[in-house]
Amino acid sequence: MGWWQVSADTLAGGRFVVSPLAEVTASLILLARAVPATPPERAFLDAHLPAFRARLAADPVDAALVVAGLGPRWVGSVFTQPPGGAGGATFAAEAARVRDMPRDAALADLLIDSGGHVPEFLRGHDLPRRALAILQWTWSRAVEPDWPRRRRVLEADIVARTASLAAGGWSAALGGLRGNMAWLGGGRLRINALDVPPRETAGASLFFVPVTTTAGWVSWAVPPPAPGPQRYAIHYPCSGVLAGLGAAPVPEPLAALLGPARARLLVLLGAPKSTTQLVALTGLALGSAGRHLKVLHEAGLLARARSGRSVLYYRTGAGDTLVAAQRQ
């Protein structure tokens, strides 16, 4: 069983952040393993898997690196690094940490991650730059065109987690974060079911990083920052409700009837959400979202209820009927 010893100070300084590199790594994991768990993942593979496989077939070194670095046991540090600050970094800035990894450190880490299963012919290559090229390809071909929508979904998840943190503490905020994750008592956080040595995180920076796929993994900076505290990250699947609805299409007749913004809000509110979450998901200004919600509420299509400090909106029966009718 893999677990981290998490001090109270480390946890108190923990931050939820959006990371473009993490989203690329999650998409790359999906492409490498090619096992979709949801309809959006199936659609993603249908769109990008043929080109990805053709790229690897043309370069045996990259193909071997993907197998060694993205196996079922662990995600190699050549493909994942924790964020470096409060979030908001570009993909290029985050990917530079992969590029700048020393070759010997990258190989040593990959040998550990893969259980020693790194082909001899792969060991003489510049693995960080090879990994960087694969990550850049995945970013430009598969993630960047959809990044604005993905970022809104990730931000909405962080809004929900932050609200849970304020209302119920870290135990509530981390509830359901990953399937194997659990508090064991005494500051021990179970990370996975693998038989690996525990890690002490006292004095480290800890990040919680959502991704829009069903992938989940952990990472730490390789090599450790010098000077500065070590960085750890827990990469977790964002709420399935948010991920699914973030990509849900708005029926054209519904948009014509209500207007695109109000139709979008009505589609998203099949499950309760706060105004702040809806702003993150849609990109609407807070005042604009509030005005549209008011109109939909007064028309009997939405109801609202208070939950802690937030007001949650959700569709009424009339709203459900209207959305369902437009999808038939």
For residues 239 and 295, the answer to whether their CB atoms sit within 8 Å is no
The three-state DSSP-derived secondary structure of 223-284 is CCCCCCCCEEEEEEECCHHHHHHHCCCCCHHHHHHHCHHHHHHHHHCCCCEEHHHHHHHHCC
Three-state DSSP class for residue 317: helix
Q: What CA–CA distance (Å, rounded) separates 173 from 73?
A: 26
Res 328 pLDDT > 90 = no
Task: Determine the pLDDT at residue 153.
Answer: 83
pLDDT digit string (tens) for 24-56?
999 999 999 999 988 889 999 999 999 999 999
Decide which of 108 and 191 is more confident. 108
Is 80 exceeded by the pLDDT of residue 241?
no
In this predicted structure, what is the pLDDT of residue 244?
53
Q: How far apart are CA 149 and CA 156, in angstroms?
A: 11
Average pLDDT of the chain to the nearest whole number: 86
In percent, how much of the chain has pLDDT > 70? 91
Query: How far apart (Å, rounded) are the C-alpha atoms in residues 126 and 111?
Result: 14
Residue 129: half-sphere exposure toward Cβ, Cα within 13 Å: 5
Query: Is the model's pLDDT at 21 over the cut of 70?
Result: yes
Instruction: Say if CB 199 and CB 4 are below 8 A apart.
Output: yes
Instruction: For the chain, list the strands marked E by DSSP.
Output: 2-5, 15-16, 182-185, 188-192, 199-200, 205-211, 217-220, 231-237, 273-274, 302-307, 310-315
Q: Which of 163, 15, 165 is nearest to 89 (CA)?
A: 15
Q: What is the per-residue pLDDT across 169-182, written as a single tens digit (0 to 9) for each? A: 777 777 667 666 77
d(CA 148, CA 150): 6
In angstroms, rounded to a whole number, what is the distance separating the alpha carbons of residues 239 and 237? 7
Nearest-5° Cα angle at 175, 173 to 180: 135
Note the pLDDT tens digit of each residue in 56-101.
Answer: 999 999 999 999 999 777 899 999 999 986 667 899 999 999 999 9
Give the lowest-confidence range in 9-18, 71-80, 267-276, 304-313: 304-313
pLDDT the model gives residue 245: 47
Q: What is the pLDDT of residue 280?
A: 76
CA atoms within 13 A on the CB side of 42: 4
pLDDT in tens, 291-302: 999 999 999 999
Q: Residue 248: what pLDDT?
A: 65
pLDDT exceeds 90 at position 223? no
Total number of residues shown for the chain: 328
The one-letter amino acid at 271? A
Which pLDDT tens digit goes with each residue over 301-314? 999 887 666 688 88
- Report the pLDDT averaged over residues 240-260: 73
| Cβ partners under 8 Å of residue 227, min gap 6 | none
